[in-house]
A = this chain, B = another copy of it.
Amino acid sequence: MNMTLGRLKVAFLGPRASFSHQAAAESFGRTSAELLPHITFADAFSALQQQEVDYAVIPCENSTNGSVVQTLDLLADRNDLYKDVKVCGEYYLTVHHCLLVRKGSYPSGWEGYDGSITKLYTHPQAWGQCELLLSKYFKGVERQDVSSTSKGAEIVSKEMEERSAAIASRFAADFHGVDVLKENIEDRADNTTRFLILRNMRAERAAQLELEQPATAVTTHKTLISFAIDHSLPGALANALLIFKAHGLNLTSINTRPSLKRAWQYIFFVECGRTPSDENRDAVIKALNDLRHVTEFCRDLGTWKDQLGARI
């Protein structure tokens, strides 16, 4: 089913004003794309496979917490539900938290803060990311878990009785119309989430748009390949990994998830990079051909331009 022409549609994870929403807005900011919230990872993958959207922006890894297993499990695609979904880009978003309060409730700002906040809202993971500020200024203040940082900002925007605050992004503050009382309250300044930009390889409209990602000094192309091996054969995994080296593909990360076919058998996700040249133009195709001989299955999950180089 081809979509009728019109505005580009991009799925993101979570409620509106989530970090995925921000990543989608920043990635597709120069287009007139319509950004659409999807509550679960599977919803976003499914919408993309069904061509209800052209792209999806999904978190895959955090520099502090590691891989996002929900994303790996969907990319594993054990039941062939998402066979047209591929990675076509990536986006790095540094996670900055702010202390948010209802509009106008603290007119003199953080300098004039009088210690009157009695309740805090945020996602469970964010408490641990802002411990320094919380232990210094908010010791003993009631903490209420919410399903997303964006939800906390929304609650605070509507709260009329209590003196409450939320921990969320500036993006969420703008979206929900609340004030930033203090910004960059996170303990680690370098906490960054990497998002994958996925597209449906059969969608014609998506193929027309060349994602204008920032040029890097030396453009590295990254490729993601998944495969499974027969662990009863000694050396099978080493042989599979050797193939990347043989074709000049530099291994940059390896992840594994249970195959769920047999216990203690895995699906491997190998990310590899190359600086494009005439010699290695067909390196990925050749590597995949070789991998087919030593793996139970292997799948090309897409190639895109490395964006990490652009940030350093």
Contacts and interface: CB of A to CB of B under 8 A. Distances in A.
A112 interface: no
Contacts of A62: 258
A35 to B, nearest CB: 26
Contacts of A231: 252
Interface stretch (A51-59, A152-160, A239-247): A239-247
A63 interface: yes
B242 A64 contact: no
Interface in A177-227: 190, 192, 194
A187 to B, nearest CB: 12
B258 A255 contact: no
25 contacts: A62-B258, A63-B258, A63-B264, A64-B258, A66-B69, A66-B256, A66-B257, A67-B256, A192-B263, A194-B264, A235-B245, A235-B250, A235-B251, A237-B250, A237-B251, A237-B252, A238-B241, A238-B242, A238-B244, A238-B250, A242-B242, A254-B254, A254-B256, A254-B268, A264-B308
Contact of A65 (B190, B234, B242, B258): B258
Contacts of A263: 63, 190, 192
Contacts of A245: 235, 238, 242
A135 interface: no
